[in-house]
Structure 1
Amino acid sequence: MANHGTIHTRMLRGLIIGLCLCTGLADAAINKGHAIAMHGEPLYPADFKHFRYTNPEAPKGGSLRLHVVGSFDSLNPFVPKGRPAAGMGATDNSHLYDSLTVRGEDEPFTQYGLLAKTIEWPEDRSWVRYHLNDKATFSDGHPVRAEDVAWTFKTLLDKGHPFYSFYYAEVKEVEVNDPLTVTFRFDKDSVNKELPLIIGQLPILPKHIWADKEFEKAGMTIPVGSGPYRVASADPGKKIVYQRRDDYWAKDLPVMKGRNNFDTISYDYYLDANVALEAFKGGNYDWRNENNSKEWATSYKGPAFSKGIIKTESVTHHNPWGAQGFLFNLRKPLFEDIVLRKAIGFAFDFEWSNNNLFYGQYKRNRSYFENSDMAATGLPSEAELALLEPFREQLPAAVFDKEYQPPKSDGSGRPRENLREAQQLLKAAGYQFRDGNLFSPAGKPVTFEIMLGSPAFERIVLPFSRNLKALGITAKVVTIDSAQYVERIRNFEFDMVVGRIGQSSSPGNEQKEYWSSEAAKHPGSRNTIGIQNPVVDALVDKIIAAPDREALINSCKALDRVLQWNYYSVLNWYTDQHRIAYQSRLRHPDFGKYVGGDTSLDTWWDSTAK
């Protein structure tokens, strides 16, 4: 006869084994780890020591002095009011605010835990759960907890910039599971596989600080964050200084090794770009990314450069450029006509501009996903056609059987053949040319304003305006101060502007903010052009729902073709080089594949620091 204790022990062991097997089956579809990739696996394993594009031996100390042209009157970058100071950061990579995760800069799109020690999500990505690091604290010593995450999210959606409500529209609810665990659940119909990654980019704010304050007000109250720096001083419109925190909780984490090396980072404000450049050459600040080709070709000379006091460097990057162009405001009745938009494009002489204004430094921008594998080239592939075919009746025929190429000229500055073609288009559409002026089919003069926020663009836009005049179109170039410019852009009070629509290596949810019909209606959104096109909306949904990298690329190419052939802008130019100049005491590691415009300044260091 068997011993009852032995029988009970065997039964207990069997029950435990059974429970373990059941748990294993239940958890088989749940992922949990240190990072989450949009497609495929993270580049860095769980036990990685530091990112390859950082130098863990970089010395701490010294200073980094930067500049800004413009002004500021707020230390709250999260609301659509005021002009926030540089470095505040309303997204990840802020000096002040840590986010749940940080991006790996040498892979398409992977987020690694920062405030979140681990990330948990199901195979269908219908929710994401963040387990916070119990060592995370704000700069006042208060611990970062799940309630801060939930409060931040709800507050930004209710009172923050419209960007947040678009970006996170498909989040259904936020649950605080325990003090260190928070779960975001998504709409049951959501096909957005990017949500678990972009939720992680959320900068986390301290609930206990804001509890008795009006969050929606822009102001100069010194903020409290959990990031590597704190605000040391702020003089509105003139200067802001950040001080590195010796007690920063995450300084030894692998994702932060070799980063945030300067003791102080300051931003000096200038009202004039030319004055700012001369101040740099005089040693008044340390680093600049030059976006003016003329200045790069002619101004970075003199004793400071020949003696090696200031270094210059052209850094090749693989970042998608997106699109820069003369952007139409489709909210204006004048620009509802696709024929007029197309004709206006013939007046821009890129070849002349590049040779005479840009010193041959630029390439023609012909795609809204320029400098990437997502740019539409050649004829549509079978996969692209499968996406486009359901909308054939709503699209220009050229989308299906032609490769988009912007007009080319002989570089003379007077593109007569192009202007002649534009005149023929306009005449066929019922436009009339009388007494040197163009009139619409309704008999109204074709005239509009090109609004600029910097006089530096006048030399580029004025030749375009003169060519338009040859078509009988009056395009008045108006330059206004930066504060007024920002406000008018925010409220869509313009006819045409020079603008850039940036892209990432993994487009996703932000495409709604750029192109969607809904975003076009909301002041402050990034749908500057005002596109309200159901085909564009449908293709944006395809991008967001793309199950893999190949589907993402095909969806972007299909969208690109629709944007190209609708002539929503007169595409300008781009470069795959970052042109940087800096004081010779500064050093940087080898850059990652996707080098940002600031060339990852948080990985630089001061060689004179001890």
Structure 2
Amino acid sequence: MAALAKPSISQYDQPKYPADFTHFDYANPDAPANGSLSFENFSELQTYDSLNPFLVRGAPAPDIQNLMFDTLMQRSWDELASEYPLIADDVEVAQDLTSATFHINPAARFSNGDPITAADVKYSFDTLASPQASPLFNAQFSIIKSATVIDKTTIRFDFKHPERDAPLIAGDLPIFSPKWGMQPNGKRLPFDQISSMPPISSGAYLIEGRKNDKQITYRRNPDYWAANLPSRRGMFRFERITFNLYRDHYTQLEAFKAGDADVIVEYSATQWARKYVGKNFDNGLLKKGEFADGPAQMQGMLMNMRKPMFQDPRVRHALTLALDYDWMNRMMFYGQYRRTNSYFEASPFGATGMPGPKELALLDPLRGSVPPEVFGPMLKQPDTIPPNSLRGNLRVARDLLAQAGWHYRDGALRDANGTPMTIEIMDDQPGMDRLILPYMQALGMLGIQAHMREIDSALYEKRLDNFEYDMTTFIYPPVTIPGAELTRRFGSAAASDVGSENYMGIRSKAVDSLIHSALSATNLDDLEAATRALDRVLIYSFYLVPEYYAPGARIGYKTTLGFPKIVPNSYLYEDWVINYWYAKAPGAQATQTTQAAQSAGSTTAAAH
């Protein structure tokens, strides 16, 4: 039995925006649609060598998936989980949640003018579900059993089992043309060999030029068919977007300060506190902005449990006690950060206090297979604020290591066979040594021989994908509502998939059970209970050393740029700038720059 077709869908309750909405609240539909944006490093990658963002091999061009590949539907950034028309103009979800049928907007076009058809959608799904694509995409769409073309503009996705987020996952499918990779002889390259051929875009931008592996310029497609859809109005306002990739953050920041870039997203507290100064800040050309955010990321130092030394939870617990976060935040981060205590920090899905009745109902059947502490208060990461101290934490860590069979003798912490504990901490960010070196020093006090290995981003990604590391800092981006990513990040099946997000190597039937409870939840209360129970198990299993998070975005920008008055509830900082900021009209630019300069002059005079 099927439900009525609707233009928008929500995982729970009803979508926020009505069928006749004109634009998202956080978009400015009247913003100028010209000008250019000069952006710097979009991610940790310092170079790129691929124009195909769907492969496990190669480093993709910055933000190419967002700019060149539209999805069936568009998620809003101010709701938990709702989608609105984009390539598909309506969707019909079966009442038993076993399938969803999407109707393709007849006006939808690829950049070569071809209509986007149901056959193209099926090709996109079949390709991303195949071994030719990265396992990240295989896992993302693993709930989908099959895609069936009903007619030229209608496609049905059947799901392996009912899940409330399955229709939205199908709506997240990026669409690309079967003609991408077609050679002059009429033969198409295998998908996993398409890396240097520019995509046939289903999105708003085309590739205008690329000088080398450190620069690329995208140009907005003047014939982009979806520009006036409500889900796109006020979006993609820059005519051109250029990315220049730098090898190190120092050069990147200096280029911005010199006016060579329009915007920079800052992730270093020290840089933000001390380095965002100079003549262009004084004269009003550049400005610092702090913007509120929703759920926080989980950043931590992962322990690779594929390594025997990390398989005992007492060892992992001991390693979490060696991080002196409070000293770091006070001495190096200017008090800008907050300690991470949850995998769902700053979110209703994170656990706090004692488990509630619904959490206990999920945890009780798992007694004996989960840490007993999960039935008590939620763990708060140990602090070093007096009367507590790092030395006190290290004493606890020493006792835990001894219980696990590790004892200090002959100048090192050794197991029963006399093998010393040696840990390599891998990273590709030069600034992270300020965090890692004090941590290594604390480990040394326990007798652990730790060393840091800093490598370039390409090799780092390769080693990460192949799980070739002991420990490394990693960030799990936040989500507004937990869903299929739980399986990719923490599910046992993903632990052995090269390129998966289960970097820690978690293989736990209890974790799998709680993930299943989350994915099968029929209302928000049940989902919150499941994620909170899962949070308790993950935290008390000590799979990583929790680090810290910033409560909002720190963005430096030219005052010639504008942004909507309303900030989304949850967003990726870089994509918020790229998708919704704009170049001000020349008159507005001159006025604001003059006012900023006058304000700076007044402040300086007063200070003197």
Match of 1:608 in 2: 585
Match of 2:52 in 1: 76
Question: Structure 1 vs Structure 2: percent identity of aligned residues?
Answer: 37
Match of 2:594 in 1: none
Q: Secondary structure at the match of 2:327?
A: helix
Q: CA 1:207–1:412 in 2, change beyond 3 Å: closer, same or farther?
A: farther
Write out aligned runs for 1:416-427 (5 A): 416-427=391-402
Match of 1:122 in 2: 94
Match of 1:95 in 2: 67
Q: Secondary structure at the match of 2:169?
A: helix
Match of 2:118 in 1: 146
Q: CA 1:480–1:226 in 2, change beyond 3 Å: closer, same or farther?
A: same
Structure 1 counterpart of 2:207, from 208, 231, 234 = 231
Quick one: which amino acid aligns to residue 317 of structure 1? D
The structural deviation recorded for 1:207 is 1.4
Q: What is the rounded CA distance, in whole Å, between the counterparts of 1:307 and 1:123 in structure 2?
A: 60
Match of 1:585 in 2: 560
CA contact (8 A) 2:248 2:430 kept: no
Q: What is the rounded CA distance, in whole Å, between the counterparts of 2:397 and 2:406 in structure 1?
A: 11
Is 1:255 aligned with 2:231?
Answer: yes
Match of 1:466 in 2: 441
Q: Secondary structure at the match of 2:38?
A: strand
Match of 1:174 in 2: 147
* 1:363-393 Cα shifts (integer Å, max 9, x gaps): 1101111111111110110100000110101
* 1:239-293 Cα shifts (integer Å, max 9, x gaps): 0100011111011111111111111001001111111110010111111110000
Structure 1 counterpart of 2:109, from 125, 137, 144 = 137
CA contact (8 A) 2:78 2:570 kept: yes
Q: CA 1:477–1:106 in 2, change beyond 3 Å: closer, same or farther?
A: same
CA contact (8 A) 1:102 1:114 kept: yes
CA contact (8 A) 2:112 2:200 kept: yes
Structure 1 runs not aligned, ≥5 long: 1-25
Is 1:303 aligned with 2:273?
Answer: no
Q: Secondary structure at the match of 2:350?
A: coil
Structure 2 counterpart of 1:321, from 276, 290, 296 = 296
Write out aligned runs for 1:500-519 (5 A): 500-519=475-494
Quick one: which amino acid aligns to residue 381 of structure 1? G
Q: What is the rounded CA distance, in whole Å, between the counterparts of 2:157 and 2:211 in structure 1?
A: 39
Q: CA 1:209–1:237 in 2, change beyond 3 Å: closer, same or farther?
A: closer
Quick one: which amino acid aligns to residue 197 of structure 2? T
Structure 1 counterpart of 2:430, from 447, 455, 458 = 455
CA RMSD of aligned residues (A): 1.5
Structure 2 counterpart of 1:342, from 317, 328, 333 = 317
Structure 2 counterpart of 1:56, from 29, 54, 57 = 29
More deviation, 278-287/428-437: 428-437
The structural deviation recorded for 1:609 is 6.2
Match of 1:7 in 2: none
The structural deviation recorded for 1:411 is 7.2
Q: What is the rounded CA distance, in whole Å, between the counterparts of 1:578 and 1:379 in structure 2?
A: 31
Write out aligned runs for 1:166-565 (5 A): 166-187=139-160, 190-210=161-181, 212-318=188-294, 320-410=295-385, 415-565=390-540
CA contact (8 A) 1:352 1:411 kept: no
Quick one: which amino acid aligns to residue 571 of structure 1? P
Q: Secondary structure at the match of 1:84?
A: coil
Q: CA 1:429–1:213 in 2, change beyond 3 Å: closer, same or farther?
A: closer
Structure 2 runs not aligned, ≥5 long: 183-187, 588-608
Q: Secondary structure at the match of 2:91?
A: strand
CA contact (8 A) 2:312 2:404 kept: no
Match of 2:590 in 1: none
Q: CA 1:150–1:567 in 2, change beyond 3 Å: closer, same or farther?
A: same
Q: Secondary structure at the match of 2:150?
A: strand
The structural deviation recorded for 1:351 is 0.5
* 1:398-421 Cα shifts (integer Å, max 9, x gaps): 111232111111379971111111
Q: What is the rounded CA distance, in whole Å, between the counterparts of 2:180 and 2:423 in structure 1?
A: 48
Quick one: which amino acid aligns to residue 154 of structure 1? D
Q: CA 1:411–1:284 in 2, change beyond 3 Å: closer, same or farther?
A: farther
Q: Secondary structure at the match of 1:250?
A: coil
Q: CA 1:480–1:411 in 2, change beyond 3 Å: closer, same or farther?
A: farther
More deviation, 80-89/590-599: 590-599
The structural deviation recorded for 1:218 is 4.7
CA contact (8 A) 1:59 1:609 kept: no
* 1:153-182 Cα shifts (integer Å, max 9, x gaps): 001111211122222223222111111111
Q: Secondary structure at the match of 1:275?
A: helix
The structural deviation recorded for 1:576 is 1.5
Q: What is the rounded CA distance, in whole Å, between the counterparts of 2:457 and 2:142 in structure 1?
A: 31
Match of 1:11 in 2: none
Q: Secondary structure at the match of 1:579?
A: strand
Q: Secondary structure at the match of 2:16?
A: coil
Q: What is the rounded CA distance, in whole Å, between the counterparts of 1:242 and 1:382 in structure 2?
A: 53
The structural deviation recorded for 1:45 is 0.6
Q: Secondary structure at the match of 1:497?
A: strand
* 1:504-546 Cα shifts (integer Å, max 9, x gaps): 1111111110001110101100011110111111111111111
Is 1:37 aligned with 2:10?
Answer: yes
Q: What is the rounded CA distance, in whole Å, between the counterparts of 2:426 and 2:15 in structure 1?
A: 44
Q: Secondary structure at the match of 1:232?
A: strand
